[in-house]
Structure 1
Amino acid sequence: MSNIKKDYIFYSIVIVFAMIFLTMTPQIKITNASFIIGPKTWPYTLLILLLVLGAYGIISSFFKSKKIQETEATEDNEDNEPERRLFKLSIPIVCLITVILYVLLLSVFGFILSSLIFLYGLSFLLGEKKQLNAIIFSIATTTVFVFLFPVLLSIPLPRGMGVFRHFSLLFY
């Protein structure tokens, strides 16, 4: 299956996912109507953004396929880059497995440690060559989320169990 067809399938799934959850979002209960931005605002914003990005992806894939057809008609493409693989799995599949493991291990290791390891590993999976950049990225991103959610918005993040819980208590 060509990459363009995979893109069409992926963006179609994103659009269907967003539409399904957009139909479910009005069922969210409003507990305090004094705020302009209520509990429905964030899901609506993200789901509409998903719809827009899904539509953009389909449109850009369409134009990319037209461009590829034009270049194939004029010349032969023999310098195709081989698909990157890890453990005989494609990189997107490995990323999906990594995200699933991250979510499952959040309650055991807590947000801080899990996120540091997850973001560090994910940056290498996605092609980062320099170890220092991956470390800085994982620390900065985790720091922003720890400051944003538990500190600024008072939204608790998973603290972990045992020693990991005590480690999380040092930060939030």
Structure 2
Amino acid sequence: MKKDGTSGLNRTLLGKLLVTAVVMFGFAYALNPFYRQICEALGLNVLTQKDGTVEYDQNTQVDATRSITIEFDANSQGPYRFRPTVASMTVHPGELATVTYEVVNTQNRDVAAQAIPSYAPQNAMQHFKKVECFCFKQQALKPNEARQMPVMFYIDPKLPRDVKTITLSYTFFEVGGMDKTAAN
């Protein structure tokens, strides 16, 4: 009899657990439409209009009333060829832009190099926002390797109105640790 009593308790517990699991699943299933209704009523996270067409809003962070000329410069400390692929571009503050720099390792050995940026005028530095940049990390280059390296950026719309031109300059130099022939 003791075996049946334990078996009955196990069945009761199993039933309660199954009911709890079904209730939890039902709650989670009903939560999604409920969440959508709340977001739609409040105008939050609405990606499509009622008719199903996608609505593309213009980026309100872009200041189309003014243009900034960005000049690009490159210097290298060592036997590299390093240059921007364009000399300048014109952007609106807040607009995402990309420029590409090209580097060629003219040596017949592996090297590790790093690029350090500088800005003119100096107060433009805090308004020049890089999203992606080769300068964020060291670059390992094989002998005679050529590489295209992007810089994705935008100019903060809070840039003072009197600044019309910004120069972005990179100095590319070798850092230690990659020369295997010197260790031999």
TM-score (norm 1): 0.19
User: Which structure features the higher share of strand residues?
Assistant: 2
TM-score (norm 2): 0.18
Higher relative contact order, chain-length normalized (CA < 8 Å, sep 6+): 2
Of the two, which has the highest radius of gyration? 2
User: Which structure features the higher share of helix residues?
Assistant: 1
